Amino acid sequence: MPQVKYTKEHEWARVEGDVAICGISDYAQKALGDVVYVELPKVGKQVKQGDAIAVVESAKAASEVYAPLTGEVVAVNDVLNKEPGKVNSGAMGDGWFFKIKPAAPANDLMDESTYQNYIKGLHS
C-alpha cells in the first residue's frame, strides 16, 4: 500500500504511480468542523511545494490548502463541488482534493508516526 506523507499544515500526499493524490488530514477536517465549501485548483496549474492551491470552508472558518509537492495539477475531485461533506466523512479517502504529477520527490514530508507525534506536540 502506498505510504501517505504529511505536511506541518496538515495536508497529505499519497504517491500512486506517477501521481500524488492530495488532501487535508483527518486532524485538519476535525479541527475545521463541517466543511461547507471547497475551492479546487484548475487542472494544468503549476504549483510549488507550499503554495496556496485550494480553499476549504467550514461553518467555523475558511482555510487555505497548500501544495504538499511541486508539480502540475492533473486532476481535481469535482465531487467536492456538490458534496463538500465528503471531506469530513473521508478526508483520507473520497474527500481527496487534487492529484499532482510531482516534479521532484518531497523528501521533507512526515510519515504517519512522525505526523502523529507532531499533532500530539500541538496539544502539549
Query: 3-state class of 109 per DSSP?
Result: coil
pLDDT of 118 > 90? The answer is yes
CA distance 120 to 58: 23
Instruction: Record the cell numbers describing residue 51, joined without a space.
Output: 503554495
- Label residue 6 by pLDDT band (50, 70, 90): very high
Number of domains composing the chain: 1
52 belongs to a structural domain: yes
Asked whether residue 86 is domain-assigned, the answer is yes
67-117: pLDDT as tens digits? 999 999 999 999 999 999 999 999 999 999 999 999 988 788 999 999 999
Mean pLDDT of 17-42: 96
Q: Which CATH number characterizes residue 30's domain? A: 2.40.50.100
**Average pLDDT of span 15-25:** 95
Which residues face 100 on adjacent strands?
Answer: 20, 73
**What's the DSSP call for residue 3?**
P
Q: Which pLDDT score is estimated for 60?
A: 86
In angstroms, the Cα distances linking 44 to 12, 55, 68, 74, 124 are: 20, 17, 16, 6, 41
What's the confidence (pLDDT) of residue 104?
Answer: 85
Domain membership of residue 21 (yes or no) is yes
**Cβ neighbours for 48, distance < 8 A, ≥ 6 positions apart:** 67, 70
pLDDT at residue 69, rounded to an integer: 95
In a 10 Å sphere around its CB, with 0-12 CB exposed, 13-18 middle and 19+ buried, how is residue 16 labelled? exposed
Q: What is the residue range of 60's domain?
A: 4-117
pLDDT tens column, 31-60 = 999 999 999 999 999 999 999 999 999 988
Residue 90 lies in a domain: yes
Task: Answer yes or no: is 124 within a domain.
Answer: no
Tell whether the model's pLDDT for residue 124 goes beyond 70.
no
User: Is residue 122 one of the residues assigned to a domain?
Assistant: no
What per-residue confidence (pLDDT) applies to 110? 96
**57 in a structural domain:** yes
